[in-house]
Chain A
Amino acid sequence: MSLSATDLSAIWLTLQLASLTTVLLLLIGTPVAWWLARTRSRMKGLIGAVVALPLVLPPTVIGFYLLVTMGPHGPVGQLTMAMGLGTLPFTFAGLVVGSVIYSLPFVVQPLQNAFEAIGDRPLEVAATLRAGPWDRFFTVALPLARPGFVTASILGFAHTVGEFGVVLMLGGNIPGRTRTVSVQIFDPVEAMEYAEAHWLAGGMLLFSFVVLLALYSSRRMRPGLG
């Protein structure tokens, strides 16, 4: 086994970050996706575009703006300091905030597609069977959108694991606190120690492939539900 203690600590940190981010994203992304799927508001285009921004922006750009807004002079930084929390950059909490924003479209879009695929009919049926709006959401919309939740969780988790630019801009490279696997790979590569980098890089490659293989195989087995 050629994984060092710092490697293992980076893996553990990455798993914690990705898990927490995924849970938060499901909580935040579900109402956003529901709204996007059902609204007829003119704001739909605007909100949809904002949610999709992380798809096209270089992660360094996201990281840069987060650093500025969460820093001691930024609005979020001022707020967190006033609340006695200090500033978020270079902390694990800061990474979580960055990851949530960075991976947002990967969770919202599959959920939105799943909710749109349900259509109005099952919800109307539930209404004629005396189910109120919340009841309809939890007993009809959520169960019917389950494949979308599976896809969203896997993509949200995997995408967070693979994040690099935002982490580097926002988290620096503090072992045990903000040094994730992707950053941990960067150091030996810069030092030309390729043999060491291979272990983690190969592991990431395998992980990503297995995740996507699982995702696409499950989609083929249940066509039309992804």
Chain B
Amino acid sequence: MPSRDSRPVQSASAAPAGIRARFGVGYPGFALDVDLQLPARGVTALLGHSGSGKTTCLRCIAGLERSAQGRIEVNGELWQDSAAGVFVPTHKRALGYVFQEASLFPHLSVRRNLEYGMRRAGAGRVSLTQAADLLGIGHLLERMPDKLSGGERQRVGVVRALLTSPRLLLMDEPLAALDLRLKQEILPYLERLHDELDIPVIYVSHSPEEVARLADHVVLLDQGTVAAQGPLADTLARLDLPAVFSDDAGAVVESVVAAHDERYHLTRLDFTGGSVLVARRPEPIGHRLRFRVNARDVSLATERLEGSTILNLLPVTVIGVGAADTPAHVLVRVDMQGTPLLARITRRSCEQLGIAAGRPMWAQIKSVALLG
């Protein structure tokens, strides 16, 4: 076999940008076999239940699972090609890794933790103070890790990874170990990161809310295989997802704050193909907001219901009907003039109303979850 530990190889031909990773790894009782094609920019979420192989996937990309076999190429740089005997060891891959627990070095101060990777990676694009300020940890530099809160530690972990000027940022459920309050504290920082970073990010999560808020692209993992992958809104609203995901089924919609109604304390959000009213938002008019509509919160009617307390009634066209998590229910995918929406209704209603592809109907949205 040729050299096992090699430096990253630049492909001779102009390789397509983005991440192409095809690999497998097997342990007793668990096997992972995936083929990922991810965009060169933006956040890709690896979504799946525990045991679906999300973390293993990330570890394989990082080179932390030496028994993984396959081919991994990141923005034209070859990191692994088992067939050719190429395996670039982790410390020679230009990646940043944020572990589930922040895993700061307990014997080093925050500053020296941050410098650890920065020194070894060489001159970076961002300075330590810039990166520390971006994540709001500038005042913590001289502290020791055991004097930080969980949220602060996790932010230090993110900055430490960023300071190595990675070409790919891997984040393994960075919020999982935190309580709701700390999550809310960190999410805005991660969103800021999303807006300012020009490198691809792979974000492992089991929370559809987090994914809907941060990701542009999504890979659904189920029992070690890819159940679906693609742009966020399309993929989460697909009908052919395995049953394990139907609990999370729903649509993600990109909208703009269009108007505030001061009298009733409501805000109107416009999106391609319609608008919804939500409780008054603090964001100014023109601000972009993502919201998520769970399939359970959508019902369908053959005509516009008068005298309903539900505010959001939208004309839609049925695209298709698929299986839901129970035999009593079905998932209906409808189109709101360009924006997909999912409704989870009983099989009985579906048959009695004769719901089928092409039929115009009214969607009643009970609630929307605003992300941001």
Q: Which residues does A use to contact B, with CB under 8 Å?
A: 121-122, 124-132, 135-136, 139-140, 143-144, 146
Contacts and interface: CB of A to CB of B under 8 A. Distances in A.
B99 A125 contact: yes
A129 B161 CA distance: 7
A114 to B, nearest CB: 13
B210 to A, nearest CB: 22
Interface string B63-78: 1100000000000000
Contact of B91 (A121, A122, A130, A140): A130
A128 B120 contact: no
A135 B119 CA distance: 12
B275 interface: no
B89 interface: yes
B193 interface: no
A129 B120 contact: yes
A125 B105 contact: yes
Contacts of A122: 103, 105
A124 B64 contact: yes
A128 B97 CA distance: 6
Nearest to B64: A124
Given A130-B120, A130-B164, A135-B120, A125 B91 contact: no
26 contacts: A121-B99, A121-B103, A122-B103, A122-B105, A124-B64, A124-B99, A125-B97, A125-B99, A125-B103, A126-B105, A128-B62, A128-B64, A128-B117, A129-B91, A129-B116, A129-B120, A129-B121, A129-B160, A129-B161, A129-B164, A130-B117, A130-B120, A130-B121, A131-B116, A135-B120, A144-B106
B161 A128 contact: yes
Contacts, number: 57
Contact of A127 (B90, B105, B106, B161): B90
Listed from nearest, the 5 A-B pairs whose CB atoms lie closest are A129-B117, A128-B97, A130-B120, A127-B90, A143-B107
Contacts of A146: 107
| Most chain B CB neighbours (cut-off 10 Å) among A121, A130, A143 | A130
Interface string B156-177: 0000110010000000000000
Contacts of B107: 143-144, 146
Interface string B107-150: 10000000011001100000000000000000000000000000
Given A121-B99, A144-B105, 13 more contacts: A124-B64, A125-B99, A125-B105, A126-B91, A126-B105, A127-B64, A128-B90, A129-B91, A129-B121, A130-B120, A131-B116, A135-B120, A144-B107
Given A124-B64, A125-B97, A126-B116, A132 B103 contact: no
A126 to B, nearest CB: 7
B237 interface: no
A129 B106 CA distance: 15
Contacts of A129: 91, 116-117, 120-121, 160-161, 164
Contacts of A143: 107
A123 to B, nearest CB: 10
B96 interface: yes
Contacts of B90: 124, 127-128
B95 interface: yes
Contact of B95 (A121, A125, A128, A131): A128
A124 B170 CA distance: 13
A131 B99 contact: no
Contacts of B117: 128-130
A191 B107 CA distance: 55
Contacts of B106: 144
A110 B185 CA distance: 42
Contacts of B91: 126-132, 135-136
Contacts of B105: 122, 125-126, 140, 144
